[in-house]
Amino acid sequence: MPNEFASYSAVELCRLIESGNASSLDVVSSFLGEIESSNDDVNAMISVSENCLETAKAIDNKRSRGQSIGPLCGIPIAVKDGICTKGLRTTAGSKMLETFVPPYNATSVDRLELAGGIVLGKSNLDEFAMGGSTERSYFKPTLNPWSKDHVPGGSSGGSAACVAGTMAPLAIGSDTGGSIRQPASFCGITGLKPTYGRVSRYGLIAFASSLDQIGPMAWTAEDCALLLSAVAGYDPRDSTSANVATENYLDRIEDPISGLKLGVCTEHFGDGLDSEVEKAIREAIDVFADLGADVKTVSLPHSASAVATYYIVAPCEASSNLARYDGVRYTTRAVADSLEQMYSKTRAECFGTEVQNRIMLGTYALSSGYYDAYYLKASKVRRLIKNDFDAAFEEVDLIVGPTTPTPAFELGSNLSDPISMYLADIFTVSANLAGIPAISIPCGFSKSGLPIGLQLQGRPFAESTLLSAGHQFQKQTDFHQQRPSS
């Protein structure tokens, strides 16, 4: 039976539940039904929660007794499998953690549950979030619900495909170089990477700690505002979380666009940009202009260096973070005679090739004799990239452009050349390097029916502006209301 709630946004589902026109159990059951009928085909979920129906019943009981059920009202949520869920297997898409069952929840999971959200299951990802297609998962690759010959993007490809495939109305992803926005773009949904530190990283399996950030994925900007409001905020258990007041991001969702200064970044419209993507983005900019935005041109002169900078900084941090997988504390160990050999064999057998490559790249770039040329130089260029944004945000409120240079690519097409895969991140990595928030919004379809995403980047902690601009755009367009046919 098709999911009867497939066309609803999460905010609409909340209204249905609050008004008694549907129960949390109805909603959770329908999405579970969709997972049962579609997941074998799409591989968006690695594990499904065994408790979600019981939790839904408990929330319905609370509501029938007149108690508050929280802003998330018993809505089911897919959580990226790189985020720890107490008692629910968390693999990070790796053989290394194939049977890892966390003894604690990530703060973001605690918070979404406290707000009445229900963890529906754990969504697929590139191993340790290292990849842009979800083909690097130790489990099967996730397919794009819009076209099963194409990738859903990555690394939060399972989260994006869960939403696009109507297997979950909301999802949590993480974004280190575009891992929320790029799959959101490829799957025709909305995805927000908040400001670095806006959402606690406690319980997020670390990839590159100065870049990683957790964020919401959903059909609409309004739904992202709902979910971000639940998970954002300072956490003493993450010393890098920002001690900056949080807000209810729905309060300012109706803020008008008129008067906002929108910067079109010249560097985003050069060689390599697909012509259909460019056309969709130009048309979307016209929509913003019609809504009263003051459209100007801005320059981010060092953006051409962003991917190279990222592919030094991120592997360096990863090589350190992944040192903890040593066969001692986590689930899997290779048979060996000595401790040293046990480490080396476990890591050779249980890490995939992309993860091994990045660990080696980081180890090399940090090693004596190469540190200055690579890590130090990249960190200086990172400062230049951040300075570019600081200067641009003197002139404009938001920077607009494509999320990705092309729509989703075909499965397998970028697996042999690492650089071609990395270049899918060319417009997204800068926001992580600078720590600023950015959102991807559906803004069109290619002739072959693949979604196209528009990216808005904002000043630190300007999530409200990004979300309200996205919401105003979505009130004028219907790209976010399309659903894949199969």
What part of residues 161-190 is at the interface with other proteins (CB under 8 A)?
none
Of residues 30, 80, 94, 468, which has the active-site annotation? 80
3-state SS assignment for residue 171: strand
Output the smallest distance, CB 95 to other proteins, in A.
13
Catalytic residue check, 344: no
Q: What are phi and psi of 309, to 5 degrees?
A: -60, -45
- The H-or-E segment that residue 78 falls in is strand 76-80
Each residue 101-130 as x (binds other proteins by CB under 8 A) or -, in order, gives x-xx--------------------------
Each residue 446-475 as x (binds other proteins by CB under 8 A) or -, in order, gives --------------x---------------
Are 484 and 164 within 8 A, CB to CB?
yes
Structure-block tokens of residue 368: 């004596």
DSSP-assigned letters across all residues of 408-429: PPBTTTTSS-HHHHHGGGTTTH
Q: At how many degrees (to 10) do helices 275-290 and 463-476 cross?
A: 100
Q: Interaction with other proteins in 82-101: which residues (CB under 8 A)? A: 99-101
Q: At how many degrees (to 10) do helices 52-64 and 24-42 cross?
A: 160
- Contact between 271 and other proteins (CB under 8 A)? no
For other proteins, the binding residue among 1, 272, 329, 485 (CB under 8 A) is 329
- Contact between 435 and other proteins (CB under 8 A)? yes
Strands (E), 4-72: 45-48
DSSP-assigned letters across all residues of 369-381: TTTIIIIIHHHHH
Q: Which residue bears the tokens 């666009």? A: 257
For other proteins, the binding residue among 266, 305, 413, 477 (CB under 8 A) is 305
**Cβ-based nearer residue to other proteins, 163 or 300:** 300
**Cβ-based nearer residue to other proteins, 289 or 360:** 360
Structure-block tokens of residue 61: 């009981």
Sequence-distant (6+) residues with CB within 8 A of 334 are 327, 342, 345, 346, 348, 349, 350
For other proteins, the binding residue among 357, 413, 477, 482 (CB under 8 A) is 357
For other proteins, the binding residue among 61, 299, 326, 482 (CB under 8 A) is 326
For other proteins, the binding residue among 367, 448, 481, 486 (CB under 8 A) is 367
Catalytic residue check, 200: no
For other proteins, the binding residue among 247, 308, 477, 483 (CB under 8 A) is 308
Known catalytic residues?
A: 80, 155, 179
